[in-house]
Structure 1
Amino acid sequence: MRIPLSAPELSGNERRYVEECLASGWVSSAGAFVERFEGLAAAAVGRRYGVAVMNGTSALHLALLVAGVAAGDEVVTSALSFVAPANAIRYVGARPLFVDAEPESWQLDVARLEEHIEQHFERREGGWFRRTSGRRLAALLPVDILGMAADWQRLTSLAAKYELPLIEDASESLGAWDRGAPVGSFGLCACLSFNGNKLVTCGGGGMLVSDDEELARRARHLSTTAKVDPIEYRHDEVGYNYRLTNLQAALGCAQIERLEELVARKRAIASRYRAALADLPGLESMPQRDGVESSCWLFTITVDVDAFGCDSRALLRALARAGIESRPLWQPLHASDAHRDSDSVGGSVAADLYARALCLPSSVGLTTAEQDEVIDAIRQTHERCGVTRR
């Protein structure tokens, strides 16, 4: 597409650091840039320790392992999310418990979750167990979606009430803040993603961040094949080869140095979309919860077919014909073939957003002229659809 959805912006020290890495010869999983990137990313979200890994999904997998989640357990996660947290839960042999989004914020509905726990779980020796199946409720894994933040104040209270480990999936919301605290700073640990479409990218990469030294040590041990000797090839448990390369970390260092600049640009793009599209009937911007400073990763609208004149998929196709990339949100995870056998709490809000929401081009490098093209194409689509429907 001429105007992509979310392309990386590489105008800082990226080339310089990558060339330094190449010149050093340290291009694999050892090297100075890995440790440097871990420190920078952890500091950016107010954490003491960072463990760099190959992607956000591997960070989630490690987080569940170090939190003590075991086969046969249940783990709460968001129904409206990319599939990674659900897959990671399956990797450890547990089952996701999908919780619907709340319409006011599109984030996990904490009130409905608490009601479900009270109705369907009971306290026994060793934790909270589902009354019917006997499965243990082992952890909470909410997702911060689209640059926003889940309600971490309420989630932290809920986790304390039921004595559950709280893991934050902050993969989409690096640079956001919730009530004065950075996204990524909540819970036992948090997971970040540095995929090519993220605000900060390594091309591909992820990180587990925590304030718990022993937890971080164990996550690092598991991520490096659980090797116990620097020379001898001896391993004390089943481990994983999840290491990030020094070459990727060099790119990440240059990116995260510019985090505030990148977030400011994303916010400016979102603000301009809101102002330019505010008068169009049938279009609404993603809601902003009080107390949250969004990093505006992907600017997202909802489309009301009756008021706008066509649905979100028709608008997607119209934008594509103009060379403009847009994307729907994710199919609700409880409705996917891969996870249909899991339990869920509600689901109608996530289903409605899947049907009506559309993510618009939000690259940090999106120019004013390109954004005007997107806005004009949306307006022209509304005018054509309105004439057709009349």
Structure 2
Amino acid sequence: MYKDTIDFIKTLYPRQDFIPLHEPRFIGREKEYLTDAIDSTFVSSVGAYVNKFEDEMADLTGARYAVAIANGTGALHIALKLAGVSSGHEVITQAFTFVATANAISYLGAKPVFTDVSLKTMGMCPEKLEAFLSENAEQVGDDLINKVTGKKISACVPMHTYGFPCEIDRIVSVCNHYSIPVIEDAAESLGSHYKDKHTGTYGIMGTFSFNGNKTLTCGGGGAIVTDDEEIAKKAKHLTTQAKVPHRWEFRHDEIGYNYRMPNINAALACAQLEQLDSFIKNKRELGLCYADFFIQQKEMKFFTENEGSKANYWLNVLIFKDLMARNDFLDETNADGVMTRPAWILMNELDMFSDCQHDGLANSKWLEERLVNIPSSVRIDSL
């Protein structure tokens, strides 16, 4: 049924018997920088490449500061802590996300509250967020309290889904009205922009991931970006076991975390950053190829960036007419050596988050039943 689509995808990735969803490309100075890091003997959380990577991430995003973290989940965990999230609090986020978003909230003893996404962006819907807060939130002294649960709402975490920017300016505007700090989960959106600003720079902090399947990878790795100097300094301190600087003493002034990115990973990340522009150009060209092909298809629609945004097209997205068509496509493509994947199971449908409050999540459920990711790797033949 989907042979034409499978054949087309195979023409985009010739000479591959199996086409993965998103594989890394190490075609720059990765080996050179890794060798240099190894020869320096600084392979853990101190080294020249860590500093270089932080400077380059700040330059790339336009943020004043960037802090290198061991992974994206750890970055979000620390960002939430620095925003004031604590045990017994609630954090508004989306159910249509990777589990790390909800897990990071839970690490602090807080609980996620899920509002719906927009079908235009696949990210948090500002109208649904406003409606939820208008109905459920009330100011009690200095705290914003959820009238249903009686708990403090202490942060909001929208996610730029699959690299497509959400309407982050409108989300921040809603949250500012209620004095809710916004932390952007930009794990998937390195190189994506909304209204000429890089994702991750609208909220008080943004967090990124450099896992092996991301547009830029250093095996693991993450980062926090912010314009707040105090937050940046505190993030570095907490992620380095809260060690008080001293030439020889091991003194720690609070509970810290072993979350700093190792120099050897940063070396890999620096080499990848040098290629990011060409990677994004290549991926956006792939998106155009898909858009041209799928405009003729009746069973599915290709998802494109929303007005005002420039997406990195980290993972390309098809939206099918119904669940049966989606499942047929998943079966046929994966059986023929073309890796495709459905959307994540909604967070509120997982056992550990099944009792979390939500707003009905109509759009999230609709997407969950119809969405498929298709191969999105940088095409070497097109570089």
Same fold (TM over 0.5): yes
The Cα shift of 1:266 comes to: 0.6
Is 1:18 equivalent to 2:34 in the alignment?
yes
Q: Which amino acid aligns with 2:378?
A: V
1:326 corresponds to which of 324, 340, 349: 340
Tell me whether 1:271 sits opposite 2:285 in the alignment: no
Among candidates 201, 205, 225, match of residue 221 of structure 2: 205
**2 CA distance for matches of 1:366 and 1:274?**
20
How much does 1:94 deviate? 0.8
Residues 50 and 209, structure 1, Cα contact 8 Å, conserved in 2: yes
- The 10-residue stretch of structure 1 (123-132 or 84-93) with the greater mean CA deviation from structure 2: 123-132
Residue 282 of structure 1 deviates from its aligned partner by: 1.7
Corresponding residue of 1:345: 359
Contact 1:331 1:351 in 2 (8 A): no
- Structure-1 residue corresponding to 2:375: 361
- Residue matched to 2:317: 300
Q: Distance in 1 between matches of 2:148 and 2:25?
A: 51
Unaligned runs of 5+ in 1: 369-390
TM-score with structure 2 setting the length? 0.92
Unaligned runs of 5+ in 2: 1-16
Shift of 1:184: 1.9
**How far is 1:288 from its partner?**
2.5
How many angstroms apart in 1 are the aligned matches of 2:294 and 2:256? Answer: 50
Indicate if the aligned counterparts of 2:291 and 2:302 stay in contact, CA closer than 8 A: yes
**CA RMSD, 1 decimal:** 1.4
CA contact (8 A) 2:24 2:377 kept: yes
1:193 shift after superposition: 0.4
Show the 5 A alignment for 1:179-258: 179-230=195-246, 231-258=248-275
After superposition, residues 135-174 of structure 1 pair within 5 angstroms as 135-174=151-190
The question of 1:65 aligning with 2:81 is answered: yes
- Does the 8 A contact of 2:191 with 2:280 survive in 1? yes
Aligned-partner Cα distance in 2 for 1:41–1:305: 40
Deviation readout 1:289-332 (Å, 9 max, x if unpaired): 110111100001011249xxx52222112111211111111111
Name which of 256, 279, 284 aligns with 1:262.
279
| In 1: Cα distance, 2:149 partner to 2:371 partner | 35
- How many residues get paired? 365
> Residue 232 of structure 1 aligns to a residue in which SS?
coil
Distance 1:46 1:147 in 2: 18
1:50 paired to 2:62: no
Query: Hey, what does 1:291 align to over in structure 2?
Result: 308
Separation in structure 2 between the aligned mates of residue 212 and residue 275 of structure 1, nearest angstrom: 43
Amino acid paired to 2:240: T
Q: In 1, Cα distance between the equivalents of 2:135 and 2:171?
A: 18
Could you tell me which residue of structure 2 aligns to residue 377 of structure 1? none
Q: Tell me if structure 1 keeps the 8 A contact 2:38–2:264.
A: yes
4+ runs deviating over 3 angstroms? none
Correspondence for 1:381: none
Question: TM-score under structure 1 normalisation?
Answer: 0.91
Q: CA deviation at 1:194?
A: 0.3
Which residue does the alignment assign to 2:105?
89
Cα distance in 2 between the residues matched to 1:122 and 1:17: 53
